[in-house]
Structure 1
């Protein structure tokens, strides 16, 4: 006859550890959006010489100039001015109309520069009004748009870390992305985090991603496995085992990472049940 034996319950002591708490957010890869350069004046826009759709430009590069004409009384010699960056005269200022029939104007040239580096996708060469489109530029590279909807995650990511770890769903994992900006959606209260994909990572539009943001960290703190503790934050309880007897003891709980939790309030060398049950915390006979 074999008699069943009961082994002593497993216990564990406090261990120093580093705790990291992360938020994981799903996202999608997109090409960087175009930047539209709009006119601040009403006049005639002349693209820079040789500039065409498809050309690349650097940030701050001259993409053209706008000629404006402010009407004045009498004849203004500035009406025959030229683009300071171009050669030859302005034919519009040397027409056959005389000052007697056409009001004189003061010609001014306003240089337009690229706000970002990239490829020209649209280019205007005509009369433009204030606010009109002059040029569109698509910067190189890709971004991840990660949408946050969970209220707790929204709070944690009010000020996201400057970098995070991303994996492509079904693809490479473990590359670092850089946080660029937040975009708030008033319609549903969600927030989109725009993250820059490194140039050396091969991606295409539409790939799904999962990005982990470390929102808090604690280093070298006393911890226990979460299975040994009742409670998750603030006040908690553990079952201390000493000399074959058990005693429920109150502790203070700090940060946790899903597997371990920061614990204070236990005497040095104390051993607690690793896998405590709800019944272990019942008081009374």
Structure 2
């Protein structure tokens, strides 16, 4: 798709997701203007746009755009995948799920990683050997291209729209809370910046942004871990005891709950996590960016 067609479509999707998300979903209250937070936000925006400019100058072909020309090392790719997973949905959603459901939330949090071997050993190498970049390219290899690409487009847009709504709600509420901006303005600003850096920078830009993000979040998460454990004398047993005392469900949070209520539910959840992870395009494409990957 030509850039002049892609940009309006992407911006329309961002605005549509913003409208569907709505301000009524979240309960975060608009805060007074926070100049320090806004300054830090602009530092990261400038850094991201700088990476995008650098990546755009190196993106010369379709292979560069989709797979960074196969020039990402295994270690860099690992950090980028970690950055992909450590999103707002992961940190906020899974943390809240673990807080609310206890062990069920923990199982849900680690269940995504079970999908990685499925991608690596059953799908990535075979798809990479075809020399294709998208699901539509692969599915239409032996089938009628027009029909397959139409179905793939509808499926992709449906999934992306719902996935995008969740991301936009999180971004909008967070910036509204920290920066004192209007919710709609926050959503549009984040959405436009995201479209720009992905469209112009391709996989090179997204990879390096995710690498930097992973390093920052791993460092910040480690600091928070030690600060939190310091409140309980660096004792996991004491932290668990306090959690049981404070939680409304008591000791039940330490055992399986509704997500693992019976074998059918457990198998359904497991298969959903595995194949849901295997179907994430931004994770799948990471395995194509390593030179001579198998």
More helix by share: 2
More strand by share: 1
Higher RCO (CA < 8 A, seq sep 6+): 2
Task: Please confirm whether the aligned pair reaches a TM-score higher than 0.5, indicating the same fold.
Answer: no
- The TM-score normalised by the length of structure 1 is 0.16
- The TM-score normalised by the length of structure 2 is 0.16
Q: Which has the larger radius of gyration?
A: 1
